[in-house]
Structure 1
Amino acid sequence: MISTANIDKLIPDFLMESGHFYVVITDVEGKIIKGNRNFERIAGSSSKKEFWKYLSINAAEEFAYSLELMLSAPKITRHLLLEHPIVSDQQFSQIWWEFSVITTPDMDISGIIGVGVGMQFLEQEMPWNNLVDVLGFGKITLDSNFLVKANDEKISSWFSNDLNPWIGKSVLDLPCLEGGKDLERVIFQASVENKPTCFLIQTKDLEIKSFASLLVKAPEGYHLFLVPKEVASAHGTLKPLVKPALLESLAEATFVLDMNGKLVQQNNAAKNLGRIWKGRAYSEGHVLSFPNQTNRFNKLQKAIDDAKIGKEADVELKMLMPDKEFAFWRASARVLRTEDGGFEGMLLSVLDITSLRHELIQLYRENERLRDLALSPSHILRGPLSTIMGILELIDPKQLDDEGQKLFGYLKPLSEELDTTIRQHAKKMSAFI
C-alpha cells in the first residue's frame, strides 16, 4: 500500500523514461490514469481506457479478480503474470506485474499502481535471482536431478519454520507438493528443453493453497521461484442462505452476506446495481465493501457493520451520477437467523427511489411557488393600502363640503375593513402553508 497526496507525481522520472520496466496507474475501476513510455508501446494512447482491454481474456479475468481483492484488502500486494496481445504478430507478450493500492493521506483509496518487467528481458538481460528482490519471489535451489539444495527465508515462512527435512529430497517427493501433475510435466520439459517455464503449484494442507511458479536453469542445477497466488473461492462452495427462486422474485436489488460480510448470493437486480455503482457486478465470494468510495457509501457500510452484530438499520443514499444528476436509494440491512435464533447472515436490500425523490423535490418546489402566489396578494395590496390610509389621516374633513364629508365618512371605514381582511387572509395562508 502506497500513500500519496498527488497521484500524478507518484512515478519517478527515471521510471517514466524506462525502457525495461512497465509502469501503469489506474483508478479504482481499472481505468488507466497514467503509464510510462514502455507501457505506451503496448497500449498506445490509453488514457481513460480500461487496463484489462490490453490483456488476453484469461489475463483480464485474473486482473479483474485481483483488483476486487486489493480494493477489499488494500494492504495486500498482487504478483501476476499477464499476457498482453501484440497486434503486429498476434502473439502474446508476457509481463510479470506487481500491483499495489494507492491511498490518500486520509486513507481513502485513490488508485492502483502496477510495475512490471517483461519475461524476455528477464530471460536475456536480468539475472533470475533478481526475481527475489524485484517481484517478491521465494527461491528453492535444486541440483541437476531436481533434489532440494537450499531455500530462502520466504519459502521457510510460507511452508514451515524448519525445512531441513527437504534437503536432499526430490522436489516431487515434498509432502506439500506431492502429486502435482503440472510439476511433473514441467520438470520433464525442463530436463529436455532447458527453457524457463511458468506454471501453477497447488499445495496440500497449507494456508496458502497455490503459488505462481517459475522453473529456470541455473549453473548449479535449477531454481524454482514461487510467489503466493490466492485463488477465488468457487461459487459452488458457498452455502446458499436464501432459496434462489425466492431471491430472484424480489424486486429490490438484494445481496445475501454471511456474518463476515462476504457476498454469498445476489439477484440480477443486485448485479445490475453493481454495474451502476462500480462498473461491474460485485463478485460473490468476496467481502462486500466500498473502500474506494467511502464518502458515498459510509452510511451503507455502517449498516452492514451493525448487521454483523445483530443491529438492523435503514439508510438512504444520495449520489451524484456521471450525467450530473443525483440518484437516490433506500437500503435495508436485515439479519438472517437460524431456527434456534442465532445469526447466519444478513440480507441487504436496495431500492432505487430516484424517481420518487425527484417527484417529491418537484412537489416541494411547486408548493414553494404556491406559497409565494398565496402570500403575494397580501404584500402587493397592503403597500398601496397603507399609503391610502396614511393620506386619509392627513385630510381634514372640516375643509370638505357636505357631500365630500359624506363620502369621506364612507371611505375611511372601508379602508380599515379592507386592511383587516387582508391581514386575516395573510394569517390564514401562513397557517395553511
Structure 2
Amino acid sequence: MDSRHFFLLVADVEGKVLKFNKGFERLNPNPSNLQFSEMLSPNSVEEFNYSLELMLGSPKIRRHLMLDHPALRAEGFSQVWWEFSVVTTPEMDISGIIGIGVGMQFLEQDMPWNNLVDVLGFGEIVLDSDFKFLSWDEKIKSWFDPEKENWSERNLSDVFSFQDFKNIEELSPQLLPGDKPRCFIMNSSYDEWPTLAAILTVSKKGYHLFLMPKSVPYNTIPAKPLISPQTLSLFSGVVFVLNKLGKLVQQNEQAKNLGKIWKGKAYSEGFLFNFPDQPRRFSKLLAAIDDAQKGQSTDLELKMLMPNQEFAFWNAAIKPIADTHNQLEGVLIQIMDSTSERNKLMQIQRENDRLRELALSPSHILRGPLSSMMGILELMDGSEMGKENLKLFRYLKPLAKELDSAIRQHSKKISTFI
C-alpha cells in the first residue's frame, strides 16, 4: 500500500475507483469515485473498456494491459503495465475489479527484461540476429506447436504461426544494445490466438521476443448476421440476437436503450450476453437462454425495482434460431415493456378492491341496526296499544323481516360476484 513503484486499484464493475494505494495518487491526487478511464489517454481508454467487458463476461480470466497515463509524463514515463482480475463475493457475484500496475520506467531501469517471463506472464522466444529461432519456453509451447511446425533454425516469418507477420525485420535496424524495447502488435495464423502483444529487445545472441496472446480477438462479430437488418426492423419492442455461444451479435435501438436502463450503458456486440454483477436479478432470463440453446422456447416476465422505488415490468420471449437443417444457430430475445399495462392493471385491481368494500359495506351497516329493531319489536306488547297503533305495529314486523331477507339476498349476490 505504501509503494511508490506499484499502483494498486480497486474499482466497481463500471470502472469507478473505490480503493487505491499511495502510488496510485500519482495518477490523480483525488481519485476516489472517478472513472479509471478518465486517467488514461484516448487509445488506452478503448483498450481498458474492451478488457473490462471481457472480464465481466468471463470472471476467471486475467487481463494484462499496457496503458498510457498522461499524468505520469512529467516523471519521464507514462506507460504502466497492469494486471487486472475480477473480485467476487462469497456468493460468486461480481463486486468489482482489482488492478496492480508497475511503471515501464521501473521495469526498464530496475529489472532485466528477460524477467518478463516470471513477472508479467509473457512467453519468451530467443532469436538470432537473422531472426531464426534459437529457443522458446514452456508458455510458448502451450500456445503454439513448435515441434510440429519445425521452428528450429527457421526464420520467424517462415513458420506457419507467424507467416502473416512481415514487419519485425523492419524494427531490428532501430534497435541497439541499451535501447528501450519495442512494443507492438503481432498477428498469428492461429485462430485461438490471432492477436498478440509483443515486446522485442536486443540480446547478446540476437533478440528476445516476448509474447502475450489476447484472450479474445477484437473482431468477434460474425460477418453474416443471423437475422437480416430488414427483418430485424420489423420486430416490435426490444430485440437481442445471440449466436450459439451466447455472444450478442445483433440488437436494435430499443435494445441499446434497455441496456442503459439495466446496465447503465448499451450491451456491446461481440461479447457474452450475461449479467455478472447481478445474476440473481436476471436468473430467469439466463435460464431461459440456456433452454433456448437446447431448442426450447420460453415466455417470462421480468420485474425490477427502479431508482424511483417503483417497479418496472417486461415480458420476454426467448426462442432458438435454427438453420434450414434444424441446427441451432442462435437465440432470439424479444422484450416488451409492460410497465404501463401492469400499472393500469394494478390500478384496476385497487379500484376493484375498493368497490368490493363499498358493495359489502351496506349489508354490514344496515343489518346491525335492523337486527336491533327486530329484537325490540319482539319485546313490545301489543295488548297495551290502541286499536290503530296495534294495526300499524302488525304491519311493521313483517316489513322488518322482509327487509332483512332482502339484505341477506343482496349480500349473497355480491359475494358471488366478487
Q: 1:348 aligns with which of 333, 339, 353?
A: 333
SS at match of 1:186: helix
**Corresponding position: 1:274 with 2:259:** yes
**Corresponding position: 1:76 with 2:38:** no
For residues 92 and 364 of structure 1, what CA distance do their matches in structure 2 show? 66
Contact persistence 1:247–1:267 (CA under 8 A): yes
Aligned residues: 418
Indicate the residue corresponding to 1:265 in structure 2.
Answer: 250
User: What is the deviation of 1:314?
Assistant: 0.8
Contact persistence 2:164–2:189 (CA under 8 A): no
Q: TM-score, normalised by structure 1?
A: 0.86
**Corresponding position: 1:41 with 2:26:** yes
For residues 220 and 319 of structure 1, what CA distance do their matches in structure 2 show? 63
Equivalent residue letter for 1:271: K
For residues 133 and 37 of structure 1, what CA distance do their matches in structure 2 show? 25
Identify if the C-alpha distance between structure 1 residues 412 and 78 changes in structure 2 by more than 3 Å, giving closer, same or farther: same
For residues 88 and 323 of structure 1, what CA distance do their matches in structure 2 show? 44
Q: TM-score, normalised by structure 2?
A: 0.89
**Corresponding position: 1:104 with 2:89:** yes
Indicate the residue corresponding to 2:414 in structure 1.
Answer: 429
For residues 354 and 310 of structure 1, what CA distance do their matches in structure 2 show? 29
Indicate the residue corresponding to 2:285 in structure 1.
Answer: 300
Contact persistence 1:239–1:264 (CA under 8 A): no
Contact persistence 2:7–2:21 (CA under 8 A): yes
Q: Please give the residue correspondences for 1:89-128 in structure 2 after superposition, counting only pairs within 5 Å.
A: 93-128=78-113
Indicate the residue corresponding to 2:393 in structure 1.
Answer: 408
Q: What are the Cα deviations for residues 26-78 of structure 1, in whole angstroms up to 9, with x where unaligned?
A: 22233333233322332443444433232222222222222222222221111
Identify if the C-alpha distance between structure 1 residues 381 and 133 changes in structure 2 by more than 3 Å, giving closer, same or farther: farther
Equivalent residue letter for 1:376: S
Bigger drift between 151-160 and 40-49 goes to: 40-49
Equivalent residue letter for 1:349: Q
Gaps of 5+ in 2: none
For residues 195 and 164 of structure 1, what CA distance do their matches in structure 2 show? 31
Q: 1:176 aligns with which of 161, 164, 185?
A: 161
Identify if the C-alpha distance between structure 1 residues 42 and 182 changes in structure 2 by more than 3 Å, giving closer, same or farther: farther
Identify if the C-alpha distance between structure 1 residues 165 and 234 changes in structure 2 by more than 3 Å, giving closer, same or farther: closer
User: What is the deviation of 1:406?
Assistant: 3.8
For residues 265 and 117 of structure 2, what CA distance do their matches in structure 1 show? 35
Q: 1:67 aligns with which of 48, 52, 71?
A: 52
Contact persistence 2:177–2:202 (CA under 8 A): no
Q: What are the Cα deviations for residues 169-224 of structure 1, in whole angstroms up to 9, with x where unaligned?
A: 55455542245244233333223871122111111235211211222345665432
Equivalent residue letter for 1:295: R
For residues 99 and 181 of structure 2, what CA distance do their matches in structure 1 show? 23
Bigger drift between 117-126 and 336-345 goes to: 336-345
For residues 174 and 145 of structure 1, what CA distance do their matches in structure 2 show? 14
Bigger drift between 248-257 and 162-171 goes to: 162-171
- Report the aligned-residue RMSD: 2.9
Identify if the C-alpha distance between structure 1 residues 223 and 233 changes in structure 2 by more than 3 Å, giving closer, same or farther: closer
Q: 2:306 aligns with which of 313, 318, 321?
A: 321
For residues 30 and 280 of structure 1, what CA distance do their matches in structure 2 show? 13
For residues 241 and 149 of structure 2, what CA distance do their matches in structure 1 show? 47
Bigger drift between 239-248 and 191-200 goes to: 191-200
User: What is the deviation of 1:349?
Assistant: 0.8
For residues 317 and 304 of structure 1, what CA distance do their matches in structure 2 show? 14
Bigger drift between 392-401 and 280-289 goes to: 392-401
For residues 352 and 31 of structure 2, what CA distance do their matches in structure 1 show? 50
For residues 41 and 90 of structure 1, what CA distance do their matches in structure 2 show? 10
SS at match of 2:375: helix
**Corresponding position: 1:51 with 2:36:** yes
Contact persistence 2:27–2:72 (CA under 8 A): no
Equivalent residue letter for 2:124: K
Contact persistence 1:65–1:232 (CA under 8 A): no
User: What is the deviation of 1:418?
Assistant: 2.3
Identify if the C-alpha distance between structure 1 residues 19 and 398 changes in structure 2 by more than 3 Å, giving closer, same or farther: farther
Equivalent residue letter for 2:355: L
SS at match of 2:266: coil
Identify if the C-alpha distance between structure 1 residues 338 and 148 changes in structure 2 by more than 3 Å, giving closer, same or farther: closer
Equivalent residue letter for 2:241: V
Identify if the C-alpha distance between structure 1 residues 423 and 51 changes in structure 2 by more than 3 Å, giving closer, same or farther: farther
SS at match of 2:224: coil
Indicate the residue corresponding to 1:366 in structure 2.
Answer: 351
**Corresponding position: 1:215 with 2:200:** yes
For residues 371 and 313 of structure 2, what CA distance do their matches in structure 1 show? 49
**Corresponding position: 1:225 with 2:207:** no
Identify if the C-alpha distance between structure 1 residues 91 and 327 changes in structure 2 by more than 3 Å, giving closer, same or farther: farther
Contact persistence 1:70–1:101 (CA under 8 A): yes
Identify if the C-alpha distance between structure 1 residues 161 and 386 changes in structure 2 by more than 3 Å, giving closer, same or farther: farther
Q: What are the Cα deviations for residues 294-345 of structure 1, in whole angstroms up to 9, with x where unaligned?
A: 1121111122111112111111110112232211111111233333444333
Bigger drift between 330-339 and 230-239 goes to: 230-239
Q: How much identity, in percent, do the aligned residues show? A: 54
Q: Please give the residue correspondences for 1:284-295 in structure 2 after superposition, counting only pairs within 5 Å.
A: 284-295=269-280
Identify if the C-alpha distance between structure 1 residues 345 and 84 changes in structure 2 by more than 3 Å, giving closer, same or farther: same
SS at match of 2:334: strand
SS at match of 1:86: helix
Contact persistence 1:97–1:116 (CA under 8 A): yes
Indicate the residue corresponding to 1:11 in structure 2.
Answer: none
Contact persistence 1:140–1:155 (CA under 8 A): yes
User: What is the deviation of 1:21?
Assistant: 1.8
SS at match of 2:359: helix
Equivalent residue letter for 1:378: S
User: What is the deviation of 1:416?
Assistant: 2.3
Identify if the C-alpha distance between structure 1 residues 428 and 213 changes in structure 2 by more than 3 Å, giving closer, same or farther: same
Contact persistence 1:85–1:91 (CA under 8 A): no
SS at match of 2:279: helix
Gaps of 5+ in 1: 1-14
For residues 313 and 64 of structure 1, what CA distance do their matches in structure 2 show? 33
